[in-house]
Structure formats: C-alpha cells, structure tokens
Structure 1
C-alpha cells in the first residue's frame, strides 16, 4: 500500500527514519502522525539487533511505529548504501541516532549527502551531543535523567535519587528533534536550503529542568528533593482525604484565602506561621499536617467538588485504567482505533495537539520489519529482476 497520510498537514514531505530504540523513533512518529511519509529503514531479519522496543509484536513497538512504512537494507553492503542514497534523493528529511562517528564511516553524514541534495534537512539525536568529551559515550534515558539533574530533585527528601516513571529524556529529545525539523523545513521555504540539526538526551534533560535551572543560574540556589510537594509554591502537592490521595495546587494569596475558607480554617489566613509564602515555606511540614487533618474528614469527591467550585485546582491521582475511564479523557478523544494486519484491532493514544482543519490520527498500524520493502524499491524504479537479485544477496 503506498503512503497513507495520517493528516494533510505534512503529507508532502518524505522522511527517512534511520533510528532505533525510542528517541529517534519518537521524533519520526511525531512527523508521521501529521501526515509525513515516514520510511523506517531497518536491518534485514538475518542481521537484526535488539532495536525493537521489546520486539516488533510488543505494544511499545506498535505505539511508537504507527503511521510508518518499513524497508530493510543491509547498510554493510555497498548496494545497501547505494539504495539508501537513492531513497534519500527523493526525501526531505533524514533522521538518525547512530553513534556520532558511524554516519561518517557509512558516508551518509550531512555534509556528504548535502553536497548532492542541498535542500535536505538532516536531524541527529545522540546521548550527549555530536562533539565534546562525552560525544562517543553510549546514551541511555536514565543516565541522562541523572546527569541532567532530574533525579537529584525527584523523590522524598533525604532518600535516594529517583528516576521518573517514563523515559522522559528519550521522549523529550525526540519531540525537540521533531520541532527542530519543522523549524528547518519552514526556514527552507525562505532560503531554499536545508541544514543539519542535532539534539541529545542530555540537552533535552537540562532544558526540561526549566525553573530549576534559573533557580541555580540566576539565584545560585541548588534545588533538592521535595517529594510530592512543589518546591516553591506552598501548599501544592499530594494530600490525603478520607478515602485516598489527591493533588491540590494553591498558587497566589487569593487562592490561599479561598483554600483556607473551603477547609473551614479561615484562621490560617492571619496565622503568622502561614499568612504569607515565606512563612508557609518555613512551616511547610506543620501546615501539611494540618491540611491532612482537615481533609481526612471527607472523601476526595467532596473536596474535589468544593475546591474546584472555589477556583482551587485539584484532582485525582489516577492509575492507567482510571486515566482512560476519566470522562474528560474520553471527551478529548485521545484514544484512536486502528486495525493491524498482524494483530487485529488496536487502541493507541493519539497526538495531544488538535488541529481543527488538518487533524492528525492513526491511519496505519505499525509495520512488520521490511513489510514495504518491495513496494518502496519499486517506487525507486527497480524492476523484478533487480528485486530478485538484491533479495538473494541479502541487500534487503
């Protein structure tokens, strides 16, 4: 089946996906979900490595590689590289996450390709950057979480550093790469020229530290663990009602006054321990204990109703089953239905951004390795004799 765009937004662009594992495939999934013709180049079955997110039949792979086509090429063979270059000649974007030196060894680095294709946008994703003392180190999400500072502020105070429960460095690097690709394509419309862009798990993680970076770079303050409580806005965190835990976020003096009145504690407004933000920071533990005592008198549903009606942000802490039972999640239509040729009906989360005129969706289930090899090679003009010879030689 030829390109089946998931949206009209990017359907004019072709992307060659040379990536493995998660960060690179995430970048390419972002583009595929908005309609780009993403061709995933994988190793042939006989030489494949552990690059498939738990195996190509696993749910992780199915989610990450939807809306793509797949071709296999042996890039250790000259004809495999030559075929890849023919594929790139008709593409707008190449995305790779090899170790920085590999692309040069294969002759598919940006400079080599741009000499013949000056409009090419070339995106590289690595663990630590394309140059520098750590450029050749292998990158892994949790390593970047640690080196980028996230684990130092995650977890309970005084306890061991804690990773977050998703591969946030991988995901952010992939999303930032996709954003960079879109910026480069927009710039190309003005200049007529492509360019090389690159990001890394480490850069993504440092950037995602956000206000914690400015606390250090501007104020000289090294943040520490604050557990489930916001480090600067108090009270904001996890609190326990009679029937379980909930999140409450109190920002600003007016919201603080509303919160006190809803909990039946108007005296907190003038209490010298709690009356302003610095005082609440010093007396955080005592205040949290008093809040929990008040909340324990009613169930979460009572407090969520009362607080939201009073303009105080709060909500349940859902597990994954509860997330997809949440009425608002259902209303937003985030779950997309697709039928896989290999696995039957599937439900996958769609994009979190809604374009009213050119929405993205899931138009194609994740492909099997090399499912579209012959289709794509025929699009390059190769005939049956070429396909037979190349298959026998293990080129694809």
Structure 2
C-alpha cells in the first residue's frame, strides 16, 4: 500500500481503496470517469493537468457559475496540479508523484508518453509494482493513429448502424456511451491488477480501447454477427428478439412496455382488456409475436388509446406489467429520488455543485463524496508538501 491520503476524509470513514494513490494523466471523459470511480471508493487521485487545464473545463454550455458541468460531472474527489511535462522541473514532480503511486492512468495517443519516459514499457522498468492503465481509441497496433473520439467508435463499431428508425439515418447515442463503458472497463482492469499485485507483488499494464469496449458492450448485437453470421439492422425502438418490448402510443404520449416471456405477455393483454388476443395462435409464443408485430402493435395501441400514460402506468404497474413513462433527465433524477435511491451527491462544501451519486452501494465501506471537482492547480501546494513529507516506494 502507499501513503495516507493528502486530505483526510471529512467524516472519518474509509473507502475500500483508502491508501491507494492514483496519478491521473487522463483528460476528457473515459480516463477521468475511471479515476473518479476509484476516488469515490476512497483512492487518493492526483490529477495532473496541463497549464491550460483539462479540455472539458472549456466545454460549455451548459455551465454553472461559469464552470463546465461536463468537467464537474467526472472530476469530483480529485486533487489538481498543473504541470508542463516538457519542463524538467515539472517532469521531476510528476516522477516524484509516480514514485509514491500505486496506479497511473493515462489516455495519451500511443507512443505519446515515450518522450517523457512514461510509456508503459518504461514505467514497468522504473516502477515494477506500478499499475499502468492506458486508454486509447483503437488500440496500439493498426489503430494507433486514429483519434480517440467516442463518436468515431459509435460509427466504426456498428452501433450507429443499429441505432435509429429502420428507414431513417444512423443515429448516435444521446451521450458519449463508449467513453463511459471504456472508463468502467479501465476501472475493472485496475482493480483486477491491484488484486493480482497483492498476490504476486508485481504490477502490470492495463490496456483498454473504445472500439473493443463498444463491441463488448453491444453484447447480443455483436454476438448475432460473431456467433450467427447475422448482421443486425436498425429497428427504431423495437427489440430484435422481443415483442412487445418498447414504446406504445397511449392517449397523450408513449408508454414503454416490456414483455420478456409468454406469461408477462398474457398479464399485459389481460390488463389492457384484450385477454382473448393472448390466446390467438399467432401470438402464442415470442417467435410468433415477433413474426406478427404489426397487427399486434395495432391492437395494443387501440386499447392503450383509452387512457393517458399516467393512468396506464398506475394500472399496468398494479397488475405487475413491466412498464414506464418516458421521462426527461430531470424527471429521471426526480423519480430516483422518489424511490429513495439518493441519486444526487452534494458535499455542502464551498464551491461544490451537486453531481449524480456513485451508483455502487457497499454496506461496510461505501462510496462517498469527499471533495468537489477542483479548480485548475488548486492543490499544487498540498501535493508538493505531501511529496516532501513522504518517501518513495522501495522499488522507485
């Protein structure tokens, strides 16, 4: 283990990763999302930024008090220090931090850190027990020169090809989906490497990339091609294997209904007053319902037209039907609050802004909001003092 955190947890509790020090050389989304999760779980994360700061500090609107909500959303619980690695003194400071760290996370272009002596092969020699996590767009072989933008991964993975209306244009997701998945995959890889280090005493490199994460995340759609040679196509809001499973028109809007098996379908049809329809041979199995989607959709929407979405949500929910209205993001946060999920974290500290809480619940060592997203270079003095007061690991 490494040294105590630079700042003490405000409530005296410890996270499962307390004592782990992470040097964060990443920027934008995938890397910072990974390191934020590690920080939420108690790791001390020192974010090294260029003197201009992480690009996302300037990604606005939206903004609050002139600060990018994008940056705020993925950089809580971290300490910021601005370093220009092309300057010898700043590079030595970075080395001193890594001397004391357990994990290094970076998302430089392949080969981009070699000139600083911080490529994975170089760090492995200088710091044998360091976990070096590298996040790229398309790997370090044939895709090393491709820029690592989430939208490119959405396009190249086939995701956009299967997203959108059947007769419409390919569609991107409403957020940087694969940046987030890649950040999560990186965090899982780091945790696995830390566990293995506890057994073997040695570190290792962890590599993840947007395209591989995208293909993995598409799960059944990817397997349709790899296992069955089937090329998935756009189907709008329909599911390729399940029906009814998607939004259906009610009197004043759309309500989502999910029937994953024959019994759920019968319960749904009974709840909307069409019990006899569930007994028809052409709808008796999932395969037959998939083959007769259009007439079944017409029947369902004729029945749903009698009431509003809100009325159906209550009626169908009471009957045990899996259903939901389509809410705004704000509506989603409010509904999660109504359910007692406590979706918002607000430390109450000066300069803090509420962010979406970490979704992981641990009974003994929970994730906590300890520190708001830092101002650029705000922790430089504390970080340098910590360097002076601590010793490098024995292998540094």
Relative to the length of structure 1, the TM-score reads 0.91
Distance 1:7 1:23, change over 3 A: farther
Among candidates 6, 15, 28, match of residue 8 of structure 1: 15
Among candidates 38, 47, 54, match of residue 31 of structure 1: 38
> Which structure 1 residue ranges, 5 or more long, are not aligned?
383-396
CA offsets per residue over residues 199-254 of structure 1, 9 Å max, x none?
01111111111011111122221111111121110110001211221110011111
Among candidates 355, 371, 382, match of residue 378 of structure 2: 371
Distance 1:329 1:222, change over 3 A: farther
Distance 1:194 1:365, change over 3 A: same
SS in structure 2 at match of 1:35: coil
Q: In structure 2, what is the Cα distance between the partners aligned to 1:309 and 1:193? A: 55
Q: In structure 1, what is the Cα distance between the partners aligned to 2:122 and 2:90? A: 16
**Superposed, which structure 2 residues align to 1:163-182 within 5 Å?**
163-182=172-191
Question: Residue 86 of structure 2 aligns with which residue?
Answer: 76
Q: Which moves more between the two structures, 276-285 or 207-216? A: 276-285
> Which structure 2 residue ranges, 5 or more long, are not aligned?
61-65, 390-396
Question: Residue 75 of structure 2 aligns with which residue?
Answer: 65
Instruction: Report how far residue 321 of structure 1 moved.
Output: 2.1
Q: In structure 2, what is the Cα distance between the partners aligned to 1:53 and 1:152? A: 31
SS in structure 1 at match of 2:144: coil
Q: How many residues align?
A: 377
Contact 1:21 1:53 in 2 (8 A): no
Instruction: Report how far residue 329 of structure 1 moved.
Output: 5.0
Instruction: Report how far residue 49 of structure 1 moved.
Output: 7.1
Question: Residue 247 of structure 1 aligns with which residue?
Answer: 256
Instruction: Report how far residue 348 of structure 1 moved.
Output: 1.1
Distance 1:220 1:63, change over 3 A: same
Contact 2:248 2:257 in 1 (8 A): yes
Instruction: Report how far residue 116 of structure 1 moved.
Output: 2.7
Q: In structure 2, what is the Cα distance between the partners aligned to 1:368 and 1:224? A: 45
The structure 1 segments of at least 4 consecutive aligned residues displaced by more than 3 Å after TM superposition are 4-7, 48-51, 327-330
Contact 1:43 1:73 in 2 (8 A): yes
SS in structure 2 at match of 1:226: coil
RMSD over aligned CA atoms reads: 1.8
Contact 1:13 1:36 in 2 (8 A): yes
Instruction: Report how far residue 152 of structure 1 moved.
Output: 1.0
Question: Residue 229 of structure 2 aligns with which residue?
Answer: 220
**Superposed, which structure 2 residues align to 1:118-267 within 5 Å?**
118-131=128-141, 133-267=142-276
Q: In structure 2, what is the Cα distance between the partners aligned to 1:100 and 1:329? A: 46
SS in structure 2 at match of 1:361: coil
Instruction: Report how far residue 375 of structure 1 moved.
Output: 1.4
SS in structure 2 at match of 1:346: coil
Q: In structure 1, what is the Cα distance between the partners aligned to 2:38 and 2:338? A: 23
Instruction: Report how far residue 359 of structure 1 moved.
Output: 0.9
CA offsets per residue over residues 4-33 of structure 1, 9 Å max, x none?
448521111000000111111111111011
User: Is 1:296 equivalent to 2:305 in the alignment?
Assistant: yes
